[in-house]
Amino acid sequence: MGVISCWILQVVLVLQLQVLVSLSHNIISGSVPVGESLTASESKQFSSSWLSSSGDFAFGFRKIQPNDGFTLSIWFDKIPDKTIVWHAQGINTTTGLVPDGSKVTLTADRGLVLTGPGGQQLWSSSLPQTRGSVSRGLITDAGDFGLLSEDPGVVLWSSFANPTDTLLPTQSIVPGGNISSRRKETSFQKGRFRLRLGEDGDLQILTLNSETLAETDVYFSYYSSNTKDPHNPGNRLVFNETGYMYVVMRDNTTRFYVNKKDPVPSKDFYHRAVLHFDGVLAQYYHPKRHGVNNSNNGWSLAWSEPENICAKRFGPSLDANELGNLACGFNNICILGDNHRPKCECPERFLLVDPNDEYGDCKPDFEMQTCGPESNQTATAHQYEDRYEFVTLKMTNWPSGDYKRYSNYDEERCKATCLSDCFCGAVVLGRDRLCWKKKFPLSYGIRDANGDSDTFIKVLKLGSRS
Ligand SMILES: *[C@@H]1O[C@H](CO)[C@@H](O)[C@H](O)[C@H]1NC(C)=O
Ligand SMILES: *[C@@H]1O[C@H](CO)[C@@H](O)[C@H](O)[C@H]1NC(C)=O
Ligand SMILES: *[C@@H]1O[C@H](CO)[C@@H](O)[C@H](O)[C@H]1NC(C)=O
Ligand SMILES: *[C@@H]1O[C@H](CO)[C@@H](O)[C@H](O)[C@H]1NC(C)=O
Ligand SMILES: *[C@@H]1O[C@H](CO)[C@@H](O)[C@H](O)[C@H]1NC(C)=O
Ligand SMILES: *[C@@H]1O[C@H](CO)[C@@H](O)[C@H](O)[C@H]1NC(C)=O
């Protein structure tokens, strides 16, 4: 009797287990069998995701507004924002998004394979050639999606080792590795900023040529950990479990903390660090449960670098200091928000080159003055007054692009010298009465309530012809 009831109990247990396993193999354990797939779908009914065992993170397709496409991503699933922390990168569409009906399949030979509605391959995880095939996928409660080999303990590919713009606690970067900003908040192509741990051990934030976006077209770095000691270089950027970010040297000592103050407890808060599309690297925290510590229920800023990107210009190497721009494009003015993120504003009489990119370049709405054969270098300012006038930008400076400087000038003389000079695009006048002549395009524009300079841009009078 005892034997039989024990046997029945065992059968029941095994059956229950099998039911559990077959219903939710990938939901309860974070484990995804080979052959599973997910489809991007407008109708919620079919949209699904794979969850980590705690349910903190999900993997699947996310609809991106307003670009009207999907991104294959990993996100924080328990919070209303569902903040994305990883996405399939390098998809050959304008915004890096894929259409409705796209499908991702976990395969044994190629790992994750993303195909379009017509079956064409759009992206796949690049697996090492020689390490054998994938036995299953695993989404961890730290937010990492790994593809595991049949050999125990061997990870063939992981999202943590192929980061996009975000780092999560327990993730690290090794020398030569980097994370890249997005093109825009809603464009998932790589943008022009990189957080890189160099082969020399230095942690830097870099800006690239914004047009070619070539990894070799690095303009300069605007943040550095100064950990390239040849005898003991930086060996790893660590974002540890409790939310500290630092550089570990080859001798295992910790040399450089990116966070300048202690993070909030990771027991109660999620952490993430992101290199934003505007070039700001920032760490945020978010309560795991509603009402923890009576804190606000969204993401709060822990720190950001640089603290004022609008005021950044020079890299450590001076040879590149006049190149390009940082957060805002040419002729565009950078204004730092309370959240330490920049906003850009074209000057009066200037328009965005790309109306959809407020961080891009601004172009004049008039024909600019040029120095042609008939321009009169000996003419006085007076003779130009009927054609050109000045737009005044208070508290605004353009610290680069100077070609002449005058001391002890007031506003009238500063403007007059620009008016009579066909090379002059604008003048900046400081409280110190220094008057600086600027050439076009204007770059590194900054407006700041504590600014000590005003700018006067020479513009064609409305109704006048150049
Ligand atoms: C991207 O797609 C375009 C048009 O579909 C094609 O001409 C181009 O070769 C593709 N580029 C890459 C790198 O696959
Ligand atoms: C960033 O990492 C990618 C992928 O490893 C690499 O191809 C690229 O050259 C790196 N970029 C820089 C600027 O180091
Ligand atoms: C993370 O780093 C901080 C600072 O070095 C250290 O105090 C803490 O113990 C580390 N946390 C873990 C989980 O290693
Ligand atoms: C640094 O730490 C790693 C892992 O704990 C260890 O394998 C290595 O030997 C250490 N290196 C030195 C120089 O102490
Ligand atoms: C939690 O509350 C304490 C005490 O009021 C405060 O000092 C601390 O900054 C709060 N932590 C967060 C993350 O808001
Ligand atoms: C240039 O300006 C000078 C001084 O006003 C004037 O005498 C001269 O005629 C002008 N030349 C031309 C080509 O306009």
Count of Cβ atoms closer than 10 Å to residue 111 Cβ: 19
Domains of the chain: 31-124+132-159 (2.90.10.10), 163-307 (2.90.10.10), 333-460 (3.50.4.10)
pLDDT tens for the chain, residues 1 to 466: 455 555 555 544 444 444 444 443 444 589 999 999 999 998 765 568 999 999 999 999 999 988 789 999 999 999 999 999 999 999 999 899 999 999 999 999 999 999 999 999 999 998 887 778 999 999 999 999 999 999 888 999 999 999 999 999 999 999 999 999 999 998 999 999 999 999 999 999 999 998 999 999 998 899 999 999 999 999 999 999 999 999 999 999 998 899 989 999 999 999 999 999 999 999 999 999 877 666 677 999 999 999 999 998 765 454 545 788 899 999 999 999 999 999 999 999 999 999 999 999 999 999 888 887 766 666 666 777 888 999 999 999 999 889 999 999 999 999 999 998 989 999 999 999 999 999 999 999 999 999 999 999 999 998 776 5
Q: Which of 374, 376, 387 to mutate to test the pocket of ligand 6 (most atoms within 8 A of CB)?
A: 376
Task: State the Cα–Cα distance between residues 82 and 143, nearest whole angstrom.
Answer: 13
Q: Are 39 and 103 in contact (CB under 8 A)?
A: yes
**308, amino acid identity:** N
Q: Is the separation of the CB atoms in 99 and 91 below 8 Å?
A: no
With a 6 A CB cut-off, is 378 part of the ligand 6 pocket? yes
Atom of ligand 3 nearest to the CA of 243: 1
* Phi, psi of 392, deg, nearest 5: -95, 125
Q: In the 3-class helix/strand/coil scheme, how is 61-92 assigned residue by residue?
A: EEEECCCCEEEEEEEECCCCCCCEEEECCCCC
Give the number of the atom of ligand 4 that is nearest the alpha carbon of residue 252. Answer: 1
- Token look-up 């690297």 returns 281
What are the CA-CA distances from residue 26 to residues 124, 133, 140, 156, 264 (Å)? 20, 19, 11, 19, 31
In terms of Cα–Cα distance, which of 459, 450, 454, 262 is closest to 367? 459
If you compute the radius of gyration of the chain from its CA atoms, what whole number of angstroms results? Answer: 28
Side chain identity, residue 450 = N
Please tell me the residue having the least CA distance from ligand 6 atom 12: 376
**pTM listed for this prediction:** 0.88
Residue with CA at minimum distance from ligand 6 atom 14: 376
318: Cβ contacts below 8 Å, ≥ 6 apart: none
